[in-house]
Structure 1
């Protein structure tokens, strides 16, 4: 029994050793297979990546370079278009008519001011005199009362500069030269300018933010509009010798339900027009006795064609109203309030200025590097209507007079 136990020990040892060798061999084979499989997978992945990269390169080579289509400017065209003034190389920011009605001065981001003759509005080609705005650009421009100079608001310096218009031997305008820079007085951006010799008064409008301001054509009133839904008018009072005396509140235009973006006068300041964020424009009779607390009369209220109106212009004769918003303009009869025409896509950008000329014949707008001159067809129609009405009244008066003479003769 002992011998058989002793004989079994070596057998077990041999069996265990053989089993261990077999197990080790199996493990080694398994590890080898895994390593081979890993190598195969890595090689396969590398091959696939090379194929993908090769495909991408081929795709990139085969794909033509995409070019962005350039949007071509379509020139504005309309039956009411008179002409277009071309000369500026950047956006025109403002323009103004001379008090004598002979010239238009424009200023743009290209650091220039250009003088145009209004006589050439009926022509296709237009000459201009260029003046440089050194080291700055003009954001607003206004003629002097004698039409011999103009003032620009400097965009970077936030102050004003006077430029003189020279005269040739034949009396025509000559070179434009800088004369004087005013000292800086404002910290906020200047929204409007006028011409005077010195600071006469500083007004607090109590309108939170002033949006628009102007001096009336007659020179009697200073007007402002802003965040509040009213237009405030002050009278500039002078003594008998013509010297400045005081500024006092004259009247207000009340009726809008939201802030007033812009307003305009006729030539003698007896009429005004205003346009508001509330979507309406209003036409006012301002020929009142405000010193006796008489309020302006609201004559007409009209709806506007655009969501955000930025400009309004009342013709000098008070018959036509033009409202500008975005890059479109609506023409309205001031008396009836009827919309007569809406002109769209006049400029590539937003309208920056809008004004009738002093003859009532044209409406001028700026918005890109061009100045568009439009026929005031609404004004022509209103004039014809007024003349026809006058004719009918004259006929009736003449009939009454003739009948009276017949009765007296009998």
Structure 2
């Protein structure tokens, strides 16, 4: 019995030992698995922790929209590039006293530049802010003491007075009220008559509105074009002209009484001769010459010094083939000697008398040229199409003036006239040599 009990007890103890061993082994395995899981988990957390900052850093390093680089352009005849605007420049205008150039941009500013600084290294300008809007057109008043703008969002005209300070600079004060809204389509151009009697605004919807200086509508003209491409007031302040879908330019006279009261708008004359729509036109300073550029690939020079009330039509003086593109601009120098035509980003300059192509500038701007204009002293041609304003020496004008004066010198019979012409020829030749010998810009 005792022996059997001992055996049973031994078996029981052995079984207990086996059970304990099995339990300990199982616990170790579970503990090991938990450690492995924890390791995996910690590893995953660490990996995610590493990935998260990397992802965040990647997001932070995502390239920002870089500011557009200024387009570079150089040419021997480039006098300067005016670059203060932060947005594309849409319009340029010289003051009638020749001292200032105004430019407006979608950066919500109008800037006034001094023409005497064009040849300097630094080009300072005065800045007029356009509150809560931006201007697409700007025009100086005849006395050069104010300018008008066309507001893109407000779709109306705003007048700014230029108030001269003691230090010679200006402050700009907007008129208390803008003009009322009258146009339904995008406005192509605005202007102030040199006589100071009226303001014009012209829309792509073929409507031209004639205003007084206080914003009252004097007359509305329907150009009867399907669409208009350009409109402007003549430098003499008598005429308003428009062109567009049809192959002609229509010209009206804005008439006033002797006492200065508005009378009527009457059709004056048409420029007929192109075989396709007219993109643009321009006047000489005395309004006796006009130039037009058309989709038909030509520019034309016209003598508009006619008695239209006696049914006399303008004379076509010259037709010249040229490169054009949708939206080509044309400019006639103030003395009528030089024609400039834009096509895309390029400019071609012609002698107006001979029609010869004398200079070409390629890739002047990074975008299509939107404005082209000669200064009133015939020294410079300015253009814009991006954020920069290019100022070119008008060497073609110098050459043409020298040729004209040399012809006049041969015909002159008076000693005083000959001496004056010789002096003017010498001055023009010196100016031309200075420009041609200047270092490239």
1:177 aligns with 2:173: yes
1:81 aligns with 2:78: yes
1:287 paired residue number = 305
2:291 to 273, 285, 291: 273
CA distance in 2, matches of 1:173, 1:119: 14
Contact 2:107 2:134 in 1 (8 A): yes
1:230 aligns with 2:248: yes
2:111 paired residue number = 114
2:370 paired residue number = 352
Deviation larger for 193-202 or 310-319: 193-202
Measure how far apart 1:190 and its partner are: 1.0
Q: Which is higher, the Rg of structure 1 or of structure 2? A: 1
| 1:45-84 alignment runs, 5 A limit | 75-84=72-81
Measure how far apart 1:307 and its partner are: 3.9
Contact 1:139 1:152 in 2 (8 A): yes
Contact 2:332 2:374 in 1 (8 A): yes
Secondary structure of 2:188's aligned partner: coil
2:35 paired residue number = none
Cα deviation code 1:196-234 (max 9, x no counterpart): 323221111111211111110100101010100000011
1:168 paired residue number = 165
TM-score, length basis structure 1: 0.77
CA distance in 2, matches of 1:141, 1:234: 22
CA distance in 1, matches of 2:285, 2:190: 19
Any stretches of 5+ residues in structure 2 without a counterpart?
Answer: 1-62, 193-197, 199-212, 416-441
CA distance in 2, matches of 1:76, 1:143: 29
Cα deviation code 1:48-103 (max 9, x no counterpart): xxxxxxxxxxxxxxxxxxx9xx9965521101100111100110011111111111
CA distance in 2, matches of 1:294, 1:113: 42
CA distance in 2, matches of 1:305, 1:380: 24
1:261 to 266, 276, 279: 279
CA distance in 2, matches of 1:154, 1:311: 22
CA distance in 1, matches of 2:378, 2:261: 33
1:305 aligns with 2:323: yes
Measure how far apart 1:315 and its partner are: 0.5
Secondary structure of 1:193's aligned partner: strand
Structure 1's consecutive aligned runs of 4 or more residues displaced over 4 angstroms after TM superposition are 70-74
Secondary structure of 2:223's aligned partner: coil
1:343 aligns with 2:340: no
1:135 paired residue number = 132
Measure how far apart 1:308 and its partner are: 3.8
Measure how far apart 1:356 and its partner are: 0.1
CA distance in 1, matches of 2:245, 2:268: 20
2:230 paired residue number = 212
Measure how far apart 1:247 and its partner are: 1.0
1:123 to 120, 123, 137: 120
CA distance in 2, matches of 1:144, 1:389: 37
CA distance in 1, matches of 2:251, 2:310: 15
2:56 paired residue number = none
CA distance in 1, matches of 2:135, 2:321: 33
Deviation larger for 193-202 or 373-382: 193-202
TM-score, length basis structure 2: 0.72
1:246 paired residue number = 264
- How many corresponding residue pairs? 331
Two-structure CA RMSD over aligned residues (Å): 2.1
1:192 paired residue number = 189
Any stretches of 5+ residues in structure 1 without a counterpart?
Answer: 1-66, 399-410
Measure how far apart 1:242 and its partner are: 2.2
Query: Residue 225 and residue 383 in structure 1: after superposition, are their counterparts in 2 closer, same or farther (change >3 A)?
Result: same
Secondary structure of 1:206's aligned partner: coil
CA distance in 2, matches of 1:119, 1:361: 11
